[in-house]
Amino acid sequence: MRIRGLVFAVLALLVSNPPGAWAGGNAGRSVDLELVLAVDASGSITTGALEFQLRGHAAAFRDPQVADALTVGGNRAIAVTLVQWAGPNTLETVVPWTRIADPADAKRFADSIADMTRPPRDGSTAMGSAIDRAVDLFDGNGFTASRRVIDICSNGFSNAGVDVSGARDRAVARGVTVNALAILDEYDWLEEYYVESVIGGPFAFVRTAESRDSFANAILHKLVEEISGVPGGGEGEAALTDVVLGHGPTYEVP
């Protein structure tokens, strides 16, 4: 009798807490988007510029437009993580996967970015290696979504690690779109480089920033577009280059 009672107790526990439910309570939760924010922390980014990138991301998640974008999808929620990368094998998760479904969730994620520690930076810029590592982050993250996106934010080009175009193609083959935010403080040709070699997947795009003002604006509208899935993010201030698989014809949203 004691054994039967124990069996029933275990079965009841499994019904109320299915396998994986203990992993943060997120296993299998449906969201509209799984998003990896991959911030360049390599030697090409000064300490002040890195801090500015992070503050810009935090400010964007506090903006009401991001919360409004959450209402577009059927699940009215996204899952997002923020990582930093530099040379090969340096990608580090600094804000873990988080479900965001309302302004309070978005603010908590913003606070996590603001409170994070800044890891040591490597001198090289291994963008392809970062994409390969970022793709693996989707496996077992506890969420399911019809869209998976990696967002590369950088002011440089890949100069170490695996070939970035090959990494991009591997990501696309696994159903992951790669977008980019190019900071044009050193190389004014980065947008073309990212279009040709970095971004890929359905409706992949590049945003560019030339100043602190345009950087904050670019981050905000990039996030709104990615979360809502609406090309241009519903705004028409900046030209937006979209390509399919990173090789197809380009067009601009007015």
Does pLDDT of 225 surpass 70? yes
Range scoring the smallest mean pLDDT among 39-43, 48-52, 232-236: 232-236
Percent of the chain clearing pLDDT 70 (strictly above): 74
So where are the chain's domains? Answer: 37-252
Does pLDDT of 20 surpass 80? no
Model confidence pTM above 0.85: no
Does pLDDT of 64 surpass 80? yes
Tell the CATH superfamily of the 37-252 domain. von Willebrand factor, type A domain (3.40.50.410)
The pLDDT of residue 118 is 64
The pLDDT of residue 114 is 86
pLDDT digit string, tens, across residues 94-108? 999 999 999 999 999
The pLDDT of residue 9 is 39
Per-residue confidence band for 172, with pLDDT thresholds at 50, 70 and 90 = very high
Residue with tokens 């069996």: 7
* Segment 47-66 mean pLDDT: 85
Burial class (CB in 10 A: 0-12, 13-18, 19+), 49: middle
Nearest alpha-carbon partner for 85 in 196, 161, 183: 161
Instruction: Give 69 or 243, the one with higher predicted confidence.
Output: 69
By the 8 A CB rule, do 99 and 144 touch? Answer: no
Does pLDDT of 89 surpass 80? yes
Element (H, E) at 60: helix 47-62
Nearest alpha-carbon partner for 80 in 149, 180, 130, 28: 149
Per-residue confidence band for 4, with pLDDT thresholds at 50, 70 and 90 = very low
